[in-house]
Amino acid sequence: MEKLEVKGLSKSFGHSEVLHDISFSVHDGEFLSILGPSGCGKTTILRILIGLESAEKGMILKDGVDITNLPSAKRKMGIVFQNYALFENMSVLKNVQYALLKSTSTKDSFNKEQAAQKAKEMLELVDLSEHLDKKPRQLSGGQQQRVAIARTLALNPDVILFDEPMSALDVDTRLSLRGELKELQKRFGTTMIYITHDQEEAFAMSDRIMVMDSGVIQQLDTPSNIVDHPANDYVKRFVIQNINIKINSLIQFARTEDKTE
Amino acid sequence: MSAARSMRKKYIPSTALKIVLCIFWLFAIILPLIRMLSTMATVDVGQVLSTAKFARALGHSLLVTAVATVISVCLAGLLAWCVARTNIKHKALLNTLLIVPMLIPSISHGMGLIIILGSNGWISRIIGLQNGIYGFWGIVIGSVMYSFPVAYLMIYDVLHYEDGTPYEAGNVMGLSVKDKFFAITLPYLRKPLISVIFATFTMVITDYGVPLMVGGKFTTLPVMMYQDVIGMLDFGKGSVIGMIMLIPAIIACVIDMANRDKGNANFVGKPYTIKKNVARDNVARIICILTIILIFLPIASFAVLGFINKYPIDMAFSFKNLNQAVHMGAMKYLRNSVIIAVVVSILGTALALVNAYMTARNKTKLSYVLHLMSITSLAIPGLVLGLSYVMFFKSTPIYGTFAILFLVNAMHFFASPYLMAYNTFGKINENLEDVGSTMGIGRWGIIKDVILPQSFGTILEMMSYFFINCMMTISAVSFLANVSDKPLALMITQFEGQMQLECAAFVSLLILAVNVLLKVVIYFIKKATNKSN
Amino acid sequence: MKKIKALGLLLMAAVMIVGVTACGGNKGGDTPAGSGSASPAASDNRVVIYSGAEEYRNEYFLKRLNEEFPDYDISIEYMPTGNLAAKLAAEGTDTDMDIFYDLDFSYAGLVEQYLADVSEYDQSIFVDDCKVPGGHYLAATRNGGAIIINPDVLAEKGLPEPTSYQDLLKPEYKGLVSMPDPKSSGTGYMFVKNLVNAWGEDKAFEYFGKLADNILQFTSSGSGPVNALVNKEAAIGLGMTAQAVTAINDGANLKILFFEEGSPYSLYGYAIPEGKQNRPAVKAVFDFFYNTLVKEDKELYYPEQVFVDQVNNIENYPKNIKYGNMEGNTTEEKQRLLEKWEY
């Protein structure tokens, strides 16, 4: 059975249609990237998947169950936003602990101490044990990102959605965070859906990539298949050409790294 | 079907709340104003607007307000930079001292100016100023005095909370101080600066306290309106002028809306790091000290006036004015003022928070209506608001009670605290409610545990803004108060009207004392909570 | 979380302050906070008087009223005459005002529709120009105007005393003359009306047009010019005689002059808003004003002629004042003239 199945999703804002009859499925434990330029509708898919937005048409199945109309909190999915959405008035530890204590899915299973314990464990996983009492403002962008990930993971979702989570980070942090993310995925076996406009990022991390443009899926396949058999001109242009440029620059980057070491 | 239900569940309460708020505004602002404007029916509007006198007053008002606004905002920006962007010491103290002028009524500033720069003012005598500063410069100086602290607070807030990362980037790129100012600071300030400029502009253009005292023959619109309403009982003509003064607020709102949602991608950044630079700090210190001396001159003269026998005949120290004021019920009126100020600071702040939340973080079409309503009150001169309340509420049960004073003050001073909350809420991460809802933490939970704590400082400022202005206001309450609920500030006009300037000075000082006390309390609360964090 | 607690504490403290101060007030015998004195349920012996008279006169009235009516709850509230009229015009008969005192006749005329009929009171005690034809208000005070100077300021500038209205136009007096704004002050208006009657409208307005160049400030209140003279802000003021006398008796060095056009004056009245006359307490207090208080007020503070039978014994008060021509001082005339006022 597929982890997620999306059938015939359509959505308009006013007169402009942002999603047109979108259907796809996500395997259990898969890392799926949704790749497309800004305004292609990828963020809207994410918001509909997690229930922050409703679609005009179509349905969403999770583990074979229709969740189209379920409130977002009951979908057992988590989301990491581009701007992390951390609780800035709380310490790193409290960010996770608070989520555990207040979330409808976990609040009955934890008292204050247990939640703190669990939060510490989660933060250790993302290597933040030294920063438990700091406020988010005192952390680097990558560290903040990891707090957001720990907070989401703590609630034990089986699908995590990422909304361009690395676009505000520098190249170094991105590279190391990519590794960590894959690591975490392996460890928890969580299905991850990752939105990006960065071709190279999508190719580096994904099991499969869904290329989107103007509210329509252009191609959904494994990275190698996309490279070998681009479905149309758009994919060729937007994906393949760009990726070549990026790869070249990456090679250069790697070379300078070598030199400095 | 259940989709519709679940969506509605999320949607309906906030829409319903917005509708309730709109109805509230309808009764608190719109209908009273319409009632007031209905007196215009008897007036030939075109004829009022085409008189030479009106054109002159309009010209005067625009000129004096434009100049005062430019000076106010520049001065405020300079001072905000001095305090927020240097390693100057005692920042909290400076922040408190610089806003002292906004703690006394504008009419008191007018009196203070007469004492130092009037025809017989002590500085006029020293520098040989012949006829005092009556007229254009008098109004400009007086207006800058009470309006720059407001602009200062707003700009300081923006600079203080500005993200430091772009500057780090700028440093890396080797940008000069000038380049950074034009490339980073100014674009970042643009949006708040527009709010600041309009807030200052509308504040100055609607004030009549200063022009009344030091305007000389330089008649401005509010004074003209005052003459028509009070002097000629011509409410219709007064309304026409009042309506003209509404225009800046409407423009402000339009520009503010056009201005919205551009470059609003704020997330956790880094606080701005201030580099070591002793020379810069010294310059900032000199600017601050100089400004503080200048703004304290009239207030100090005033303090002297409050405790002498009879200016300028008998300059002996005396408690005569204190006794006289107390004898006339100053303590009872002080009690009334404090009641009004406390209640309005609580209810007004709560209402402003709810409104700002609905406009800044729960945007729908109704939000625009609410936003318009919320900032409109800024432009309604107190006199217009007070009179329209008299006409609209005179046969309702709340008339003649404290309740109507609470309401009129909350409305009159609503815009600024509302904008403080609006700006703060707008700056707080936009995805908090979404992330909460995916975690099963409701909107209210996020508001209570995350958004309000993050806005704590702003909330304190909002409460103190309401409090302070309720202590000072004259125009909005002068018709609505009666013998049992009269606030203290009305004693100033009462004394002023009877040539007892010394008593008026004493009452102004009393108001200042209460407001300073409040500021001190707020200062310690802030200090305590900063420590606990 | 701590901040929320702090905020909570602050709110609680605030509520307590309000509670305590409000209760404290009640003990003091005031009306309970929040209960409106405008409501018809106000207790029967409560009388609220708004007065345009100076505070020392109001205090005297209150003292006498408390002696006369120990069971009544009487309060007197000062309000500038224009505000008083505006309040009445805006509120109509829905007002907490039971009686007003010292409201300019021209204003009283504007709000006459809201006033109770008082034609039953005998008007023969008044001199002719103080008899009110409409019968809705009664004469209380004659407020005479004069040219008042501060000899010290003139001496300092080396300038002579003016002897006529024309003198005031001399360029050396530029910025030294203070006059109340006729639009907001009855005192200001009476000077305008007086000269219009004396010289004809065109000449009078031409005169004020020139005078405006010398004016330091058109003050909003009639007491402004004397105030400015006492504070040495101005050298010459078109002000109120009685106020100048008070200032002189308080130690100010001022001099009162009358020019050949005579002293302009305006009349002030007292009345009851319609409906309030039915309350016995209000009526009793009003009667006391008519029979006793107004006369005492004239003897003690404002001696200028209102009653046929009246003497002026106040120290330094000019005797045998020659009054100017104030004929045709109606509300309509005031509105018409002020429409033409451009300054």
Q: Per the CB < 8 Å rule, is B268 touching A168?
A: no
Judge whether C17 lies within some domain: no
Task: Answer yes or no: do B434 and A79 touch at CB < 8 A.
Answer: yes
B268, A144: Cβ pair inside 8 Å? yes
pLDDT at C31 over 60: no
> Would you say B72 and B144 are in contact if contact means Cβ atoms under 8 Å apart?
yes
Say what the pLDDT of residue A259 is.
57
Query: Residue C315: inside a domain, yes or no?
Result: no
Please state the domain count of chain C.
2
For residue C221, give its domain range: 143-265+321-340
Tokens coding B263: 């470059």
pLDDT band per the 50, 70, 90 thresholds, residue C5: low
Distance CA(B69)–CA(B164), nearest Å, equals 29
- CATH code for the domain of C227: 3.40.190.10
Place B499 in a pLDDT band, splitting at 50, 70 and 90.
low
Asked if residue C239 and residue C293 are part of one domain, the reply reads no
CB-based contact (8 Å) between B310 and chain C? yes
Alpha helices by DSSP H, listed for B85-164, are: 91-98, 106-117, 122-127, 136-160
Task: Note the pLDDT tens digit of each residue in B183-201.
Answer: 888 888 887 888 788 888 8
Residues C258, C283, single domain; the answer is no
pLDDT level of residue C24 (50, 70, 90 thresholds): very low
Q: How many CB atoms lie within 10 A of CB A1?
A: 10
pLDDT greater than 70 at residue C40: no
Average of per-residue pLDDT values in chain A: 89
The pLDDT-based confidence of C39 (bands split at 50, 70, 90) is very low
Residue A99 lies in a domain: no
List, as ranges, residues 375-404 from B with C-beta within 8 Å of C: 387, 390-391, 394-395, 397-403
Task: State whether C130 and C51 are in the same domain.
Answer: yes
Spacing of C-alpha B143 from chain mean position: 12
Say if residue B309 is exposed, middle or buried (CB neighbours under 10 Å; 0-12, 13-18, 19+).
Answer: middle
**Secondary structure element (H or E) that encloses residue B377, with its range:** none
Q: Are C86 and B493 in contact (CB under 8 A)?
A: no
Q: What is the CA radius of gyration of chain C?
A: 23
Residue A4 lies in a domain: yes
Q: Find the residue in A nearest to B266 (Cα).
A: A83
pLDDT digits 0-9 by tens, B17-50: 999 999 999 999 999 988 888 888 777 888 888 8
Q: How many domains does chain A have?
A: 1
Helix residue ranges, H only, chain A = 42-50, 92-102, 112-125, 141-154, 171-188, 199-205, 223-228, 233-235, 242-260
Whether A24 is covered by a domain: the verdict is yes
- Answer yes or no: are the C-beta atoms of B349 and B463 closer than 8 Å: yes
CB-CB: which of C3, C17, C110 is closest to B233? C110
Distance CA B352, CA B318 (A): 44
ipTM reported for the complex, 2 dp: 0.85
Name the architecture of domain B24-532: Orthogonal Bundle (1.10)
Q: Domain range for residue A242?
A: 1-76+193-261
- Asked whether residue C27 is domain-assigned, the answer is no
Quick one: closest CA in B to C251, which residue?
B313
CATH number of the domain that A238 lies in?
A: 3.40.50.300
Lowest mean pLDDT among B122-131, B390-399, B479-488, C66-75: B122-131
In the 3-class helix/strand/coil scheme, how is B229-272 assigned residue by residue?
Answer: HHHCCCHHHHHHHHHHHHHHHHHHHHHHHHHCCCCCCCCCCCEC
Averaged confidence pLDDT in chain C: 86
Residues 421-440, chain B: which have Cβ within 8 Å of A? 428-432, 434-435, 437-440
Residue A153: inside a domain, yes or no?
A: no
Q: Is B161 exposed, middle or buried (0-12, 13-18, 19+ CB in 10 A)?
A: middle
Shared-domain flag, residues C330 and C238: yes
Q: Do C250 and C280 lie in a common domain?
A: no
C28: pLDDT strictly greater than 50 = no
In chain A, the percentage of residues whose pLDDT exceeds 90 is: 51
> Which positions in chain A touch B425 (Cβ < 8 Å)?
none
**Structure confidence at residue A204 as a pLDDT band (50, 70, 90):** confident
- Look up the pTM and report it: 0.82
Name the residue in chain B with its Cα closest to that of A74: B440
Q: Search chain B and give the residue with CA nearest A168.
A: B267
CA-nearest residue to B3 within chain A is A69
Window 458-497 of B, Cβ < 8 Å to C = 459, 463, 478-479, 482-486, 493-494, 496-497
Q: Which of A42, A41, A32 shows the shortest CA–CA distance to A209?
A: A32
Look at residue C158 and tell me if it is in a domain: yes
In this prediction, residue A182 has a pLDDT band, given cuts at 50, 70 and 90, of: confident
Same domain, C162 and C225: yes
pLDDT band, residue C29 (cuts 50/70/90): very low
Mean pLDDT within C79-105: 88
Looking at CA atoms only, how far is residue B328 from chain C in angstroms?
9
Within-domain flag for C36: no
Task: Say which residues have a Cβ less than 8 Å from residue B218's Cβ, sequence separation at least 6.
Answer: B60, B64, B134, B135, B136, B138, B139, B211
